[in-house]
Amino acid sequence: MTSEEILKSDGCHGLERPTAREIVDTLAATLSDTGVLDGFTWRLRTSARRRTVGVTIERDATVTVTVPAGSGLGQLVPVLRAKRPWMIRRTAERAQRLGEHPVKQIVTGENFPYLGRSQRLLVRDGQAIPVRRRGGRLCLRAMPAWDGARAIIDWYTRTATAWLDPRISPWAGRVGISPAQVRVSDPGRRWGTAKPDGEVTLHWALFQLRPVLVDYVLVHELVHLAEPRHGPQFWDRLDRTLPGYEERRDRLAEDGRYVWLGDIQGQ
């Protein structure tokens, strides 16, 4: 079913056009009926920039299917059927890794690494600011556990932003791109994202890892501003900018399994 067929089948032809969200929801419902994605947790989105169907296995083992605007089941189902064995294998790998992300306690002695170095928490009464780093310790003002976790995440975000800022221009120059903005936040299921408007976002949790891995994600997303898809041109450009990137990519896949994503005991 194409988006034009959806218009007609919904009785909207010549009257009120459905929104893009309604078209996607209708296509997703029809896709669900085919059974090709049975057994997966998935979402469907459209992209005006894509020319082919794309399938991404997210860090939480869910599946994102991205289709060109106006796509129908005739384009979508054969691709998903062909990719199904790969999807089963990759989601199983992702699911196995999910349980390895630590659940922290907001207590003195807990480890909150920063840029690959151990950093023990010290909970203190009466501290003026919520979180500060002192003498290799991360000092947290005494507060309820969830508030403490939120304060630590905010600290990672602020500190990482300041650390990252002077690295952006040199790497962007090597890629040959000028990002509109690079920020540290929570992009959800990915270590980083790059938007068509030139905005790059890196996950705050990434900054628990070594700088060489942060640089890999930064460069990866900067290259995406020029090459949106993971095709040969993307990997060639990444290799020219960051020779031997494969070692960093593999290390990220391994070390990233043990990064704290904000979960705390008793949450």
The verdict on residue 236 lying in a domain is yes
Q: Are residues 82 and 161 in the same domain?
A: no
- Of 34, 18, 26, nearest in space to 2 by CA: 26
Return the percentage of the chain with pLDDT > 70, whole number.
88
Q: Are residues 156 and 254 in the same domain?
A: yes
Q: Are residues 175 and 247 in the same domain?
A: yes
* Overall pTM surpassing 0.75 (yes/no): no
Judge whether residue 134 has pLDDT over 50: yes
Run of H or E including 212:
helix 211-226
Boundary of a domain, candidates 98, 113, 133 = 98
Q: What is the pLDDT of residue 4?
A: 37
**pLDDT per residue as tens digits for the range 182-221:** 999 998 878 999 999 999 999 999 999 999 999 999 999 9
Q: What is the pLDDT of residue 11?
A: 41
The verdict on residue 127 lying in a domain is no
Boundary of a domain, candidates 98, 113, 139 = 98
Boundary of a domain, candidates 53, 76, 98 = 98
Per-residue confidence band for 110, with pLDDT thresholds at 50, 70 and 90: very high
The verdict on residue 168 lying in a domain is yes
Within 10 angstroms of residue 256's Cβ, the number of other Cβ atoms is 21
Could you give the number of structural domains in the chain?
A: 2
Q: Are residues 249 and 166 in the same domain?
A: yes
CA atoms of 67 and 258, how far apart (whole Å)? 32
The verdict on residue 116 lying in a domain is no
Give the SS3 label for residue 193.
strand
The verdict on residue 211 lying in a domain is yes
Better-predicted residue by pLDDT, 210 or 9: 210
The verdict on residue 263 lying in a domain is no
Window from 25-39, 150-164, 221-235 with minimum mean pLDDT: 25-39
Q: Are residues 175 and 82 in the same domain?
A: no
Q: What is the CA radius of gyration of the chain?
A: 22
The verdict on residue 41 lying in a domain is yes
- Quickly tell me which residue has 């991360």 as its tokens: 138
Q: Are residues 77 and 160 in the same domain?
A: no
Judge whether residue 239 has pLDDT over 90: yes
Q: What is the pLDDT of residue 77?
A: 85
* Enclosing domain of residue 240: 152-258
The verdict on residue 228 lying in a domain is yes
Per-residue confidence band for 99, with pLDDT thresholds at 50, 70 and 90: low
- For residue 173, what is the domain's CATH number? 3.30.2010.10
**pLDDT per residue as tens digits for the range 36-84:** 788 888 888 888 777 888 888 876 778 888 888 777 777 788 888 888 8
Q: What is the pLDDT of residue 25?
A: 72
